[in-house]
Amino acid sequence: MQRNHVHSLVAGLTLLLAAHASFAQIRDATVSGGQLEGKVAEGIAAFKGIPFAAPPIGDLRWKQPHPVQAWQGVRKADSYGPSCMQSARIVTLLGAAPAVSEDCLYLNVWTAAKSAAERRPVMVWIYGGGFAAGAAGVPAYDGRQFAKDGVVLVSLNYRVGPFGFLAHPALTREGGGTSGNYGIEDMIAGLRWVKLNIAQFGGDPTRVTVFGESAGGMAVSLLAASPAAAGLFQRAISESGGALEPPRRSNEAGGLIPPLKSSEAFGEQFLGKLGVTDLASARALSADKIQSALPANALGGGFWPNFDGKILPGDEYLRYAAGKFNDTVVLIGTNSNEGGLFVPPGLTPKAFETQVRAGYGDRAEVILKAYPHADDAQADRAGKELFRDSTFGWSTWAWAKLQTEHGKHKAYVYYFDHRTHKTPDGADHGSEIVFVFGTLGTPDIGGVVVKPTAAEQKLSAQMHKYWVNFATSGDPNGPGLAAWPAFDTKSQQAMVLDDAPSARPLPNQVQLQALDDYFSWRREDTPK
């Protein structure tokens, strides 16, 4: 009887342990480079600071990312890697740890999967920051809520400023015809790592959504037209991004991505400023010396990706029109007051007209007519709205049209218009991020914590669910959510995300059409 009792206890304990194991999170993983040990809390496993490429230091500075270096034993993946070299002050303002380094090619994974066989949808986040700043370790980008809702969330670092985007004729020769797109190549290397390794975390490598905001959203656009990124993702989300304007050749309005030759000339000037004439000398300089050469009033000193003919083949608009792009379903949009962060207040009608005529050439009158500016209040608003539309809105609109007309997959467009007593003119640039990530209440720049209202929590839950649905099935729609129709070139409806989300016609179609006229003229006027 006693023996039977012992057997029963043992059997019960065995079942209990088996049940416990079946509910345990993935804590260990073997990936490219070696073994990892993550950290589990509240049912979510976080793996932070995972190397996905070799440190781009020494002779690897200004080269494409090289394979990750293997490590011995088990690597504890419990803290973010350093942010890529930039102003430590900006990183601190963003809320990330102040450590910056050239040795920065690390990524992070959050998952609630209990086994590698689960095949959950994967989302890969690319941060913004004007290609000059930013970090994956920013608190607003915490992936726990996505993981809680069934997504394996990945965030990655990429090189910024002169470390990520310095082009130079000697670097182009060394690189076989390309230079200055190292930050973009870092993103591609990160996506390749995801394809090879994400199944270890319960992720599905055939169901990857790449998403980003601002420069990160622009990067998503660039990846969508890059042959080097083909097959690395199946869905794309761009928040306030897009790069479909003609290449930037001088000081014309609109468009930020220059051709390789322009970037090379800019790089020659920069190395001259550093007092070096050859690559060996340039690579011997300390990272701090290079960073200190950037102007104090410019985030990254004007370093951008470039159309090199290889990684980024050329004008994205023309590539889409020719069907030469990575055809995936896309979810893309802008915020209502994007320009509020960038355009100083106090613009007068005369100053607005002067700016437009200087930047828009023969199409200036078309632009001026589309943006009423009869008095100071109108001019102030016109300046902000023109910045919004020329930098973010038109490219998003054109992308949606081209995807709809030339792709096999749908485009879903949004317009984020959440307003508060502090932002009566509309949603500021980047303000949608905490709604999407479910990180409302995260300290803002300066460390101030703003308690979200019940309405904001509700809107965040809706937006987060749209993004999760999209990553899961390629369609943002789902139970309990307002219907979000795919973009149609006739009705041109977008999901307006405010206190009562619903599908409505884009509110700035007249202005977007005026800019379309301008960019068409630019392409006709561009030397072939």
DSSP letter for 171, please.
Answer: H
501 vs 255: CA distance, rounded Å? 31
Query: Are 217 and 242 contacting, i.e. CB atoms less than 8 angstroms apart?
Result: yes
Q: Would you state the structure tokens that stand for residue 18, as one six-digit string?
A: 């088996």
510 vs 320: CA distance, rounded Å? 23
81 vs 103: CA distance, rounded Å? 9
Element (H, E) at 318: helix 316-321
Phi, then psi, of 276 in degrees rounded to 5: -120, 150
Query: Are 497 and 416 contacting, i.e. CB atoms less than 8 angstroms apart?
Result: yes
Cβ neighbors of 390 (< 8 A, separation 6 or more) are: 253, 254, 515
The residues annotated with a catalytic role in the active site are 214, 338, 429
169 vs 175: CA distance, rounded Å? 10
The separation between the first and the last C-alpha atoms of the chain, rounded to the nearest angstrom, is 94
431 vs 450: CA distance, rounded Å? 13
Burial environment of residue 155 by CB neighbours within 10 A (0 to 12, 13 to 18, 19 or more): buried
Quickly tell me which residue has 């942010």 as its tokens: 83
Closest CA relative to residue 429, chosen from 340, 304, 491, 320:
340
Complete DSSP assignment for 172-206: HHHTTS--S-HHHHHHHHHHHHHHHHGGGGTEEEE
Quickly tell me which residue has 């209202």 as its tokens: 453
Tally the residues of the chain.
Answer: 528
Burial environment of residue 60 by CB neighbours within 10 A (0 to 12, 13 to 18, 19 or more): middle
Measured from the Cβ of residue 138, the count of other Cβ atoms closer than 10 Å reads 23
Please give the biggest Cα pair distance in the chain.
99
Alpha-carbon dihedral 384, 482, 327, 392, rounded to 10 degrees: 0
278 residue type, one letter? D
28 vs 47: CA distance, rounded Å? 9
Element (H, E) at 124: strand 120-126
146 vs 136: CA distance, rounded Å? 15
Phi, then psi, of 261 in degrees rounded to 5: -60, -40
